[in-house]
Amino acid sequence: MDSCRCCLTKPCFKNISDEYSYGGQIEIYSDMLLNTFNLYITKFTDCEAQMICDRCITRLRDATEFKKQVLSAEETLLSQYTVSDGLSKEGDLILDIKEEDYNETSDGQSDDSTFIIDQGSINDSEGQIFVIKMDKKEESVNEKSTVRRPLPVRRKSEARVRSLRKSNTSMKTKTKKTPDISQTQIDLRENSLKLVQNSNLCLFKSRKTRFGCFFCKESFLKIAELREHNKMHSNTKILKLRFNSLRGLSYKNVEITNLACNTCSETCKDLQELKTHLQIHNIKFGVDTERHLLIPYKLEGDLKCTICAQNFNTFTRLAVHMNKHFMNNVCEICGVSYINRLSLRTHVNSMHREKKCTLCPATFLTNYSKVKHMKKSHDTGASKRYCLLCNKTFRYTYMLLEHRIQEHGAQRQIYECTECGKTFYAQQNLKTHIRCVHIKERNYPCSICFRRFFTKCDQRRHERSHEDVRSFSCGYCEGRFKSKDSLRRHLKRQHGQMYEK
């Protein structure tokens, strides 16, 4: 079942609980539904039951922006309101009270009078001026006086919202059961928290080519920039809540270059040496003092494993290598180990679980082969991308973007590289540029001379130069060449006039 959770259309290719980047911001569609409509999406164990289609994503974005627009307009109007308009600073209604037949004694004190206020009329007619009459008990006076006094009136909508919130929270407290946590898990949390609080460790999230902040959604290309950013997050309560909410063996990435103690500024080589040093300052750890939930990295300078000192050219390859040293979650089918349970679940879903076609009985080993089959056999790709203004469908995203720009006057979105200022029309092209030019990622080595290349295509083209096979022949002479590029250069140099014709 890969139907959309919002409209039940098929097929869908985005998970409702995963993070996606759009317009330079991170989107989690389940959180957007909760914040915009107060709708909580039930999470099932089946990954395919957590999908959302592109049409619902676009409508959800529009609804979120509309809510922000309404809230900002409401704040602007409230700030412009004055007391004379009938609204006090506290948001209370001011009622005009006409005092009729007001009785006054000789000593200047008024007699007791009973007020008659219809509570239903107050709730049903907000923003109006109410006339409240007083019943006469003894004597009446001909003079009439008008008294303006603020009476706090709770609005009907606010009272309903508060009552609903109370009922929801009461139901949650009744049904929610606190999970049983072992003492070992508590010790691991406390050990990790004490290491972070008493040193200059830098917590970070891995986002492929960037390093994400542990506390917010900001991300940086260099770890030094993230260290400067982390100085803004000095609230220890948030840090404690994050670590106390960890489930199971949920390891976190830390950068330990120039590791030092916060109390005495003494430098330490690794986390174990830091633990031994912190005990001098009377900082006590759990029973198992050697274990914690932190994965150490040294990312300034050469990328090396902090445990076995193996070199790597990219952080992604280093992070994959760290799974060998933290064998906490092992696949029962192939025996591959992973640091976190989420990585193991992703591995099982992508490698060992069969993917079924929703339109025919065909099954596939990988999700890529399933999507390729559905595009080729059932023509599902054509209905995936469509224009919301004129309902035209397009096979590729770039065709839809060009249609919006040319037909509906949309602005072309440009992505600029922060390192060199080069601009791109697609965010994926910007990411590829950063990996190739600035990070210098080279993951494909030549099997003969061990020269490394960025893409598999570059590697294969280079390896042909080591072979003595000349598969490309010239049509104007007897020359033969190893690659198409060599043949093209030969045609331009030797047969330029004929080749141009």
Question: Which residues contribute to the annotated binding site?
Answer: 4, 7, 53, 56
CA proximity to 95, closest of 148, 152, 146:
148
Alpha helices in 340-451 (DSSP H): 341-351, 367-377, 397-408, 427-433
CA proximity to 122, closest of 95, 149, 82, 91:
95
CA distances in angstroms from 61 to 29, 38, 223, 385, listed in the order given: 9, 15, 32, 16
Torsional class of 391: left (φ above 0), alpha (ψ -120 to 50), beta (otherwise):
left
For tokens 């003079």, what's the residue?
Answer: 143
Length of the chain: 501
Q: Backbone phi, then psi, for 298, in 5-degree steps? A: -120, 105
Show the tokens assigned to 169: 């929270």
Cα–Cα distance for residue pair 437/420, rounded to 1 Å: 10
Residue type, 9: T
CA proximity to 278, closest of 202, 200, 214:
200
Show the tokens assigned to 411: 């602005």
Look at the alpha carbons of 138, 144, 145, 149 in this order and tell me if their dihedral is positive or negative. positive
Contact indicator for 197, 236 with CB cutoff of 8 Å: yes
For tokens 């200047």, what's the residue?
Answer: 108
Annotated binding site for Zn(2+): 4, 7, 53, 56
Contact indicator for 277, 261 with CB cutoff of 8 Å: yes
Neighbouring C-beta atoms of residue 187, cutoff 10 Å: 17
Residues 6+ apart with CB under 8 A from 495: 474, 476, 477
3-state secondary structure of 274: helix
> In degrees, to the nearest 5, what angle opens at C-alpha 249 toward C-alphas 350 and 254?
95
For residue 53, with 0-12 CB atoms within 10 Å meaning exposed, 13-18 middle and 19 or more buried, which class applies? Answer: buried
For tokens 């030969």, what's the residue?
Answer: 490
Cα–Cα distance for residue pair 367/369, rounded to 1 Å: 5
3-state secondary structure of 297: strand
Residue type, 478: E
**Beta bridge partners of residue 95, listed in sequence order:** 149
Residue type, 422: K
